[in-house]
């Protein structure tokens, strides 16, 4: 695309869709924090983006391979059902929120609430992440190779979280579980496939204590205030 | 005004509640469609003014044309056209059976109106029924995002971002494990054997301004062709409506506190939210200040609408279209027994027990809904015509009078006898 001639989300996405009619790979140059870029894209295409994206980048991805060489705002890959999203930069809060399939890989640091309410799929943060990762996680896998903040897995009902570095207090209904050989095999094959640099032996695994959560009961962390706007 | 779920004998109701809570230590939780409870019809304090000498002469409903259609998203490539200002609420698959959903979609489609399907997805079967009978399906984009994907949004005739349900705005939701079948689990991408949780808020809307980004996201997915509606509960109606309009919604849908809910805390159901009569003035104020009407933004209202009289009054108070939830359920066979959250619905509606569900003939039930909607539309036509109007858009506050001081005070409608608006509205 011709940098500088189109600047709004609507213009960028419209041109992107037009190009995807004719080409399997499309490149976007000079992104300047626009929101909702490359959203709802289907299978069989690749989008390479250079610059910095705003919020909801690559949301509702439906099978495309999307690469961003730069940072992204909040909720990257939101509600993805299928496909691959690669972010070579830092991302804001809520990466991988609501995803039910596909893989999101961030080679950089992430804010909090990574993979909240995810139902399936994989989110990998090759760096550090903030508080409340896996909030309400119902399924799928979150991998953070670095450190994470407090309340990881808070109100988690399913899925796994692997943490390569240190973590703060674990949230309600999460607990550390031993790293079994199948976990190591999974991580090894994941890291190999996506060229992720990390030592598998150091990882900690967090699972749901009780998948049959009674949501109507108060619990020991009732003094924890869930995150709001940041 | 009292909310509508309390027993006529409040003392007995309170004692019963205290005993239950003393026994199990839990907040009360019950379906609010229980017919043993006294219910007040919200529009009973308003009457229609027939047109005689002073204004237009009456229109003959049997001989003259009447315009009742409503267009949502009139500036878009694919606007949502309702032949009548009445649309159907279909509760989520899980809360109600597949057959019940089919019946609601079938009946709504036959009547030429839209069916708003809760909890985000439309089943293939429903899409076929709707498409075959010229129906319109509005997909709900709710905080659980069950079944939401790019294809689903692109196929919808409109998308509704649900921020709250009117009966319990601001609370989370739980679908009991006993109602989750393998099909429901697959569609919602959840596990069998434990409760499914819906958050109280959209987890990807941290700040109020985020609603604008989600409207933009949906517009990008739908190529700016499909209407986007924002649904709010009856709360701070003026500010919330203004916010939704400024965020770019094609319609604001206010779901009022009388709306049906299957379960969840009685304390919320009985105490939270603005009843339907109280939402029109603040919503109209927000529309006026933002120039929303001129931009084609529509005001949709859901409350306890039971007949054409209720619909007429809502339209005259400023609503463009109204949603029927409880009435639609009753039209397909619900007997309002209040057992919706038990999975034991004898009518095959609020159950996913295959044996019970088989009791509902969805085609027959859908036809009954069509009949009900047609009759209700005809009632609206009769009242519109006797008001001297050929078009429902001509209806306004002058077509109504309040029969009680309270209703006149709440709505700004002229009080009978006094025949003026109350002094508080004279400005």
Q: What ipTM was estimated for this complex? A: 0.92
CA–CA gap between residue B151 and residue B122 (Å, rounded): 11
Q: Which residues of A touch B121 (CB under 8 A)?
A: none
**B375 phi and psi, to 5 degrees?**
-65, -40
pLDDT per residue of chain A (230 residues) written in tens, 0 to 9: 454 578 899 999 999 999 999 999 999 999 999 999 999 999 999 999 999 999 999 999 999 999 999 999 999 999 999 999 999 999 999 999 999 999 999 999 999 999 999 999 999 999 999 999 999 999 999 999 999 999 999 988 899 999 999 999 999 989 999 999 999 999 999 999 999 988 887 899 999 988 777 665 655 555 666 665 54
Of B188, B190, B203, which to mutate for an interface test with A (greatest number of A Cβ within 10 Å)? B203
pLDDT tens column, B103-118:
999 999 999 999 998 7
Chain A closest-CA separation from residue B279 CA (Å): 28
pLDDT given for residue A230 in this prediction: 47
Using a CB–CB cutoff of 8 Å, tell me whether A212 touches chain B: yes
Chain B closest-CA separation from residue A193 CA (Å): 26
B357: confidence class by pLDDT, cuts 50, 70, 90 = very high
pLDDT given for residue A39 in this prediction: 98
pLDDT given for residue B314 in this prediction: 97
Are A10 and A30 in contact by the 8 Å Cβ rule? The answer is: no
pLDDT tens column, B142-196:
898 888 999 999 999 999 999 987 666 777 677 777 778 887 777 777 777 777 7
**Contacts with B, A 118-147, CB within 8 Å:** 119-120, 135-136, 138-139
Is 90 exceeded by the pLDDT of residue B348? Answer: yes
pLDDT given for residue B2 in this prediction: 42
Residue of chain B whose Cα is closest to the Cα of A57: B217
Residues 6+ apart with CB under 8 A from A59: A36, A39, A40, A75, A76, A77, A78, A79, A80, B217
Chain A closest-CA separation from residue B1 CA (Å): 29
For B256, other C-beta atoms within 10 Å of its C-beta total 25
**Contacts with B, A 70-99, CB within 8 Å:** 74-75, 78-79, 81, 93-94, 97-98
Using a CB–CB cutoff of 8 Å, tell me whether A4 touches chain B: no
Q: Which residues of A touch B172 (CB under 8 A)?
A: 215
Which is more confident, B47 or B266? B47
Percent over 70 (pLDDT), chain B: 89
Which is more confident, B95 or B265? B95
Instruction: Give, in order, the Cα–Cα distances in Å from A178 to each of A52, A184, A206.
Output: 38, 11, 9
Helix ranges (H only) for B111-199 are: 124-132, 150-155, 182-188
Using a CB–CB cutoff of 8 Å, tell me whether A35 touches chain B: yes
Residues 6+ apart with CB under 8 A from B137: B105, B114, B115, B117, B122, B126, B127, B130, B156, B157
Chain A closest-CA separation from residue B206 CA (Å): 4
Of B155, B173, B198, B217, which to mutate for an interface test with A (greatest number of A Cβ within 10 Å)? B217
DSSP character string of B280-346: HHHHHHHHHHHTTTTTT-EEEEES---SHHHHHHHHHTT-SEEEESHHHHHHTT----S-GGGT--T
Q: Which residues of B touch A79 (CB under 8 A)?
A: 145, 148-149, 204
Is 70 exceeded by the pLDDT of residue B10? Answer: no
CB contact under 8 A, A212 and B195: yes
B119: confidence class by pLDDT, cuts 50, 70, 90 = low
pLDDT given for residue B256 in this prediction: 82
Using a CB–CB cutoff of 8 Å, tell me whether B194 touches chain A: yes
The model's pTM is 0.91
Which is more confident, B286 or B16? B286
């Amino acid at each position: 695309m011709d940098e500088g001639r189109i600047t709004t989300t609507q213009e960028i996405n419209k041109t992107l869709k037009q190009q995807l009619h004719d080409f399997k790979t499309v490149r976007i140059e000079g992104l300047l924090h626009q929101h909702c870029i490359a959203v709802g894209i289907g299978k069989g295409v690749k989008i390479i983006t250079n610059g910095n994206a705003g919020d909801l980048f690559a949301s509702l991805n439906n099978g495309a391979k999307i690469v961003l060489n730069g940072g992204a705002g909040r909720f990257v890959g939101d509600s993805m059902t299928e496909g691959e999203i690669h972010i070579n930069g830092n991302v804001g809060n809520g990466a991988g929120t609501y995803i039910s399939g596909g893989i999101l890989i961030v080679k950089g640091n992430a804010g909090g609430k990574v993979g909240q309410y995810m139902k399936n799929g994989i989110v990998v943060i090759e760096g550090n992440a903030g508080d409340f990762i896996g909030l309400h996680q119902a399924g799928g896998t979150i991998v953070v190779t670095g450190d994470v903040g407090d309340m990881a897995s808070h109100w988690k009902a399913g899925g796994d979280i692997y943490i390569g570095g240190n973590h703060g207090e674990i949230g309600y209904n999460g607990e550390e579980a031993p790293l079994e050989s199948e976990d190591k095999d999974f991580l090894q094959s994941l890291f190999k496939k996506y060229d992720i640099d990390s030592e598998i032996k150091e990882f900690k695994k967090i699972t749901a204590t009780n998948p049959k959560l009674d949501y109507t009961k108060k619990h020991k962390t009732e003094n924890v205030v869930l995150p709001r706007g940041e | 005004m009292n909310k509508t779920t309390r027993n006529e004998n409040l003392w007995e109701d309170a004692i019963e509640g205290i005993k239950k809570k003393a026994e199990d230590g839990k907040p009360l939780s019950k379906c609010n469609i229980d017919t043993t409870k006294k219910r007040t019809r919200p529009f009973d304090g308003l009457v229609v003014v027939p047109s005689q000498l002073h204004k237009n002469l009456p229109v003959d409903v049997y001989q003259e044309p009447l315009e009742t259609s409503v267009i949502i998203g009139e500036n878009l490539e694919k606007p949502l056209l309702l032949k009548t200002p009445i649309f159907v609420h279909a509760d989520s698959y899980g809360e109600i059976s597949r057959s019940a959903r089919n019946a609601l979609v079938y009946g709504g489609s036959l009547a030429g109106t839209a069916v708003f399907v809760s909890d985000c997805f439309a089943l293939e079967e429903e899409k076929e029924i709707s498409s075959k009978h010229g129906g319109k399906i509005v997909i709900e984009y709710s905080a659980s995002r069950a079944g939401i994907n790019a294809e689903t949004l692109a196929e919808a005739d409109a998308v509704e971002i649900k921020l709250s349900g009117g009966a319990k705005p601001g609370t989370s939701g739980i679908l009991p494990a006993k109602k989750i079948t393998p099909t429901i689990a697959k569609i919602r991408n959840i596990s069998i054997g434990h409760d499914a949780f819906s958050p109280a808020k959209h987890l990807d809307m941290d700040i109020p301004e985020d609603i604008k980004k989600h409207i933009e996201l949906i517009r990008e997915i739908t190529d700016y062709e499909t209407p986007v509606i924002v649904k709010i509960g009856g709360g701070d109606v003026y500010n919330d409506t203004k916010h939704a309009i400024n965020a770019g919604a094609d319609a604001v849908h206010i779901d009022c506190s009388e709306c049906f809910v299957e379960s969840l805390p009685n304390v919320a159901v009985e105490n939270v939210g603005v009843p339907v009569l109280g939402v029109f003035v603040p919503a109209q104020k927000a529309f006026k200040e933002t120039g929303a009407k001129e931009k084609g933004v529509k005001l949709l209202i859901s409350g306890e609408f039971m007949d054409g009289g209720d619909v007429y009054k809502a339209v005259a108070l400023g609503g463009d279209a109204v949603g029927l939830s409880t009435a639609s359920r009753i039209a397909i066979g619900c007997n309002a027994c209040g057992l919706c959250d038990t999975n034991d619905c004898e009518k095959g509606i609020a159950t996913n027990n295959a044996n019970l569900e088989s009791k509902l003939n969805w085609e027959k039930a859908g036809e009954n809904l069509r009949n009900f909607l047609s009759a209700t539309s005809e009632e609206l036509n009769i009242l519109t015509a006797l008001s001297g109007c050929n078009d429902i858009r001509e209806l306004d506050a002058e077509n109504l009078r309040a029969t009680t001081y309270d209703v006149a005070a709440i709505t700004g409608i002229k009080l009978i006898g006094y025949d003026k608006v109350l002094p508080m509205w004279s400005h």
